[in-house]
Amino acid sequence: MAEFSASSVITQQRVIIPNKHGEKLVGSLHETGSREIVILCHGFISNKEDTTMVNLAVALEKEGITAFRFDFSGNGESEGSFEYGNYSKEAEDLRTVVEHFNAANRVTTTVLGHSKGGDVVLLYASMYHDICSVVNLSGRYNLTRGIKEMLGEDFMEKINKDGFIEKMNKAGTMKYRVTKASMMDRLNTNMHEACLNIDKKCRVLTVHGSNDNAIPVEDATEFSKIISNHELQIIGGADHGYSLHQAELAVVVLRFIKSVLQECKDK
Ligand SMILES: *[C@@H]1O[C@H](CO)[C@@H](O)[C@H](O)[C@H]1NC(C)=O
Ligand SMILES: *[C@@H]1O[C@H](CO)[C@@H](O)[C@H](O)[C@H]1NC(C)=O
Ligand SMILES: *[C@@H]1O[C@H](CO)[C@@H](O)[C@H](O)[C@H]1NC(C)=O
């Protein structure tokens, strides 16, 4: 496997886009001059500097494809309050970003999201039908799962009693706060229903690591059944963050994005 690094010289522009609530979203534009643009969305408790986001943006740029990675509101450098759930707010942030580039006469050909961002890009595609392809990296199918592992068996009792749960880290300081509204938003976000509303013409790539301990690979096949234009790629041995598989991930994602590019241009 060839060496893969994000340290090559690249032209990155800092772009600030206010969302519908007046909060400033901060992003990095890897400008190649292409009219087509790919937007990269980070996951839960993450930001645009995530290794996968940076490496994929660099890989796209090397292929002459402009990439934009940004922080959702309440994350990284962007303004606003952190949300455990509120998937639709993140989809709205993404809407603001797409509209920003539309206004500059650019074409967003692919929205790519990792983990929670994977669900956000799928929600986006179910709400707005102006995207011709979606990449779902290790997103979750069933959002009612995986909560007690993080917050304890009695999370619902706690949140009903106090109105929130504070997740502590090992040092005993608060890592993040889950409000009841945000929890209910997660529990009420139905990815199955959302995906039924994705345009039949929209191509979807799902990538998942076979060694993902955060979100198991098992349900990754669920959606192939209901999304007509769906492709599934399992990366053998990869974990949730693709920590040892950045190069393999880039190969799979680039192949897909390049294959849809021409179709998207023609639309
Ligand atoms: C999601 O998981 C919950 C809990 O395991 C289960 O009751 C529910 O049927 C699942 N929903 C779907 C759509 O698979
Ligand atoms: C999600 O965020 C929006 C915008 O800040 C807010 O109006 C809404 O109440 C939030 N929803 C939940 C469930 O917290
Ligand atoms: C997104 O990826 C996850 C993890 O591989 C998978 O469980 C889910 O079914 C995928 N969703 C869709 C709509 O492909």
- 3-state SS string for 46-111: CCCCCHHHHHHHHHHHHCCCEEEEECCCCCCCCCCCCCCCCHHHHHHHHHHHHHHHHHCCCEEEEE
Q: Using the atom order of ligand 2, give the atom closest to the CA of residue 81.
A: 5
Q: Is 35 touching ligand 2 by the criterion CB < 6 Å? A: no
Determine the distance separating the centroid of ligand 2 and the alpha carbon of 89, expressed in angstroms.
7
224 lines ligand 1 (CB under 6 A): no
- C-alpha distance from residue 149 to each of 39, 43, 146, 155 (Å): 31, 18, 6, 10
The pLDDT of residue 218 is above 90:
no
Q: Could you give the CA distance from residue 164 to residue 175 in angstroms, rounded to a whole number?
A: 13
Residue nearest to ligand 1 atom 3, measured at CA: 144
pLDDT the model gives residue 222: 63
**In the predicted model, what is the mean pLDDT of the chain?**
90
With 0-12 CB in 10 A as exposed, 13-18 as middle and 19+ as buried, what is 97?
Answer: buried
* Mean pLDDT of the region 58-65: 96
Of the CA atoms within 13 Å of residue 229, those in its CB half-sphere come to 18
User: How far apart are the CA of 92 and the centre of ligand 2, in A?
Assistant: 11
Residue of 79, 64, 63, 65 lying closest to 27 (CA atoms): 79
First to last CA, the chain: 36
Quick one: what percent of the chain has pLDDT higher than 70? Answer: 91
- Count of other CB atoms within 10 angstroms of residue 32: 17
The CA 117 to ligand 1 mean position distance, Å, reads: 21
* Segment 95-139, tens digit of pLDDT: 999 999 999 999 999 999 999 999 999 999 999 999 999 999 988
Query: Residue 213 above 80 pLDDT?
Result: no
CB of 148 closer than 6 A to ligand 1? no
Is the C-beta atom of 90 inside 6 A of ligand 2?
Answer: no
Domains and CATH numbers, the chain: 3-143+189-266 (3.40.50.1820)
Q: How far is CA 47 from the centre of its chain?
A: 10
| Residue 3 or residue 49, greater confidence | 49
Q: Which ligand is nearest to the CA of 126?
A: 3
Q: How far is the CA of 207 from the centre of ligand 1 (A)?
A: 21
pLDDT digits (tens, 9 = 90+) for 195-204: 889 988 899 9
What tokens were used for 149?
Answer: 């592992």
